[in-house]
């Protein structure tokens, strides 16, 4: 298969490396020349991690970085849009892809939660459009949400499911094209409650991370939430949720705890500080430590 990856920011390089390792011919493009120049380093880092994960390597050509979107998608069987999370930008890119590929090319979006049906409304051939929502880092987290929009042809959903399996990831079919799909709806429910608990002074950020990572995250990696309900007992869930659900955060806007920091340019690791503070050395150390631990946990879970 020839695959094209459009957008080489956080997600693109790892996606390209995963597809190439599975034996596909991969071409990439980013509108920003600086991102194109950095791409090879990103492919190399992801490829090294795939090696540590023990992912089998099929013969493949070097990943190409094209100078234009049309060159990138020429002859593609699958084009993956991976640009900024804005509907108008995505529709513009989809139209450019549509104009440059054959009618059989599947066009996928890695949107984090824009309904695929909204993207379909903006283009001429919606039946070949589908959501392919990777999880960050895309070469390490082996799960991809597959989201058909209202007009996606069933054969496109089947083909996408087969592609995800072939590259060694687990396809998760989303039956209704709801905003945020499933992974981000669950994640953002957790984040809303966590931010609220810190904002209300119930707990310090570091202690919250310890509580959630060890008390919930570690367990959920082994026993998913639906299986956990059975493990704990549905009667327990009923008893606790009967008094607790009404206490949980239900705010519909973003908490001031976050908006005050973003308005001061405190965006997290990318600006050296957000909820926690970071030096450049600390950032490098954290990235290396997290990649190592994610590789070890994935290996343990797959054993």
Given 1, 2, 23, 31, the residue binding ligand NAD (CB under 6 A): 31
* Smallest separation (angstroms) from ligand NAD to the CB of 233: 34
* Smallest separation (angstroms) from ligand NAD to the CB of 67: 12
C-beta of residue 43 within 8 angstroms of C-beta of residue 11: no
C-beta of residue 46 within 8 angstroms of C-beta of residue 73: no
- 85 forms part of the interface with ligand NAD (CB under 6 A): yes
- 200 forms part of the interface with ligand NAD (CB under 6 A): no
- Maximum alpha-carbon separation in the chain: 60
The DSSP 8-state label assigned to residue 238 in this structure reads H
Stretch that binds ligand NAD, among 37-45, 82-90, 205-213, 255-263 (CB under 6 A): 82-90
Given 53, 65, 93, 167, the residue binding ligand NAD (CB under 6 A): 93
Nearer to ligand NAD, 10 or 200 (CB): 10
Stretch that binds ligand NAD, among 106-114, 190-198, 220-228, 255-263 (CB under 6 A): 106-114
- Matching residue, tokens 């490829």: 47
Other Cβ atoms less than 10 A from the Cβ of 234: the count is 9
Stretch that binds ligand NAD, among 38-46, 55-63, 76-84, 190-198 (CB under 6 A): 76-84
- Is the peptide bond prior to 109 cis by the omega test (within 30 degrees of 0)? no
Rounded distance between C-alpha atoms, residue 98 and residue 79, angstroms: 10
Residue 75 backbone dihedrals phi, psi, to 5 degrees? 75, 10
Nearer to ligand NAD, 18 or 112 (CB): 112
Given 1, 74, 87, 89, the residue binding ligand NAD (CB under 6 A): 89
Rounded distance between C-alpha atoms, residue 4 and residue 76, angstroms: 6
Question: What is the rounded end-to-end Cα distance, in angstroms, of the chain?
Answer: 30
Contact residues toward ligand NAD (CB under 6 A) are 6-12, 30-32, 35, 82-85, 89, 93, 110-112, 134, 136
């Amino acid at each position: 298969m020839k695959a094209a990856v459009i957008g080489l920011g956080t997600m693109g390089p790892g996606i390209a490396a995963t597809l190439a390792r599975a034996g596909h011919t991969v071409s990439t493009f980013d509108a920003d020349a600086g991102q194109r120049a950095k791409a090879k380093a990103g492919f190399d880092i992801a490829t090294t991690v795939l090696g540590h994960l023990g992912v089998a390597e099929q013969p493949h050509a070097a990943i190409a970085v094209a100078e234009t979107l049309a060159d990138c998608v020429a002859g593609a069987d699958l084009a993956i849009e991976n640009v900024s999370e804005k509907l108008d930008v995505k529709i513009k890119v989809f139209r450019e892809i549509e104009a440059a590929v054959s009618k059989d090319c599947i066009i996928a979006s890695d949107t984090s939660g824009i309904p695929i049906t909204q993207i379909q409304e903006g283009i001429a051939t919606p039946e070949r459009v589908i959501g392919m929502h990777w999880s960050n880092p895309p070469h390490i987290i082996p799960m991809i949400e597959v989201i058909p929009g209202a007009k996606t042809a069933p054969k496109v959903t089947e083909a996408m499911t087969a592609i995800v399996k072939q590259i060694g990831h687990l396809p998760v079919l989303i039956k209704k094209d709801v905003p945020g799909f499933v992974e981000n709806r669950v994640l953002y429910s957790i984040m809303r409650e966590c931010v609220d608990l810190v904002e209300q002074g119930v707990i310090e950020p570091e202690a919250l991370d310890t509580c959630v990572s060890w008390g919930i995250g570690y367990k959920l990696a082994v026993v998913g939430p639906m299986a956990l309900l059975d493990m704990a007992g549905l009667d327990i869930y009923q008893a606790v949720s009967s008094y607790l659900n009404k206490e949980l955060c239900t705010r519909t806007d973003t908490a001031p705890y976050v908006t005050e920091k973003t308005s001061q340019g405190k965006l997290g690791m990318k600006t050296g500080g957000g909820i926690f503070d970071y030096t450049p050395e600390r950032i490098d150390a954290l990235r290396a430590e997290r990649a190592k631990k994610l590789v070890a946990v994935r290996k343990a879970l797959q054993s």
